[in-house]
Amino acid sequence: MRRSHSPRMRVPSKLDAALPVVVLVTTVSVAFTTIFILLAAGTGRLSASRSFSVGKLRESEIRALSFEDDDVPIFYPMLDLPDHTDVDQRPLVKLGFEETVHFDWDNSTSTREYFQMIPFGSVGQRHGQQNRGFATAVFHVEHCYRIFHQVYVSDDVASIQWHHINHCVNYLRQQMMCTADLTPELGDFMARDPDAERAGPVRVCRDFGAVYDSAAYNWFSWLRYAKAHNITSISVTQVSEA
């Protein structure tokens, strides 16, 4: 014979009274959290798109930028070559690091060699309808090495702008962090004799020749514009190297 069980009476607790409030607060919290995550994700996608996909912009999109205020790409693909090919669309190249008889620190004749690493001695290019000047990072680095060389061979210590030197040291440190070259280098580089072992590891790099040529074509375009508009001031035709 089955025993009949009468239902037990449930005594309301303080938790029961607070349950609607807990549910409401939880719902609102989840809603705000979801909105925040969506906004953050949207911002992240926008940031990632602007930071990493800008090199894939079509030429027409690049040309449409005003290059005024903040309307500039974070990464400029350098479309100034005659075929308008983005430098980053070109094949990567192998570059063997090796010692050289050029660019001696204690040789004042190396000054010209350092200048030749930068098109026409200028770190800048001109972009947009207003021909706004921009310094290109790779040539900014070379400019800093040129400054170091000038300081090294200079006899006029009083004329050295130490704040400029400090800027360049810090700039190169940050460039190193940005590049983060992961090429493995065999052995202890401090123990290597550079006079006996002239060659180092081969790296895979952007085509610096294409970068240089693109900057040179851009500079020629600016010179033609400056001549056509009777612009002769050096301060206008060159980006400040400060």
pLDDT, tens digit only, all 242 positions of the chain = 444 444 444 444 444 444 443 333 344 343 333 333 333 333 333 333 333 344 455 666 766 778 888 887 777 666 666 666 666 677 788 988 888 888 887 777 787 888 888 776 566 788 888 888 888 888 899 889 888 888 888 878 888 889 999 999 999 999 999 988 888 888 787 787 877 888 888 889 888 888 888 888 888 888 888 888 888 764 444 443 33
Q: Check if the beta carbon of residue 219 is closer than 8 Å to that of residue 119.
A: yes
Give the chain's largest Cα–Cα span: 115
The confidence score (pLDDT) of residue 216 equals 85
Please tell me whether the overall predicted TM-score, pTM, comes out greater than 0.75 for this model.
no
The confidence score (pLDDT) of residue 209 equals 85
The confidence score (pLDDT) of residue 102 equals 83
Q: Check if the beta carbon of residue 107 is closer than 8 Å to that of residue 208.
A: no
Cα Rg for the chain, rounded, in angstroms? 30
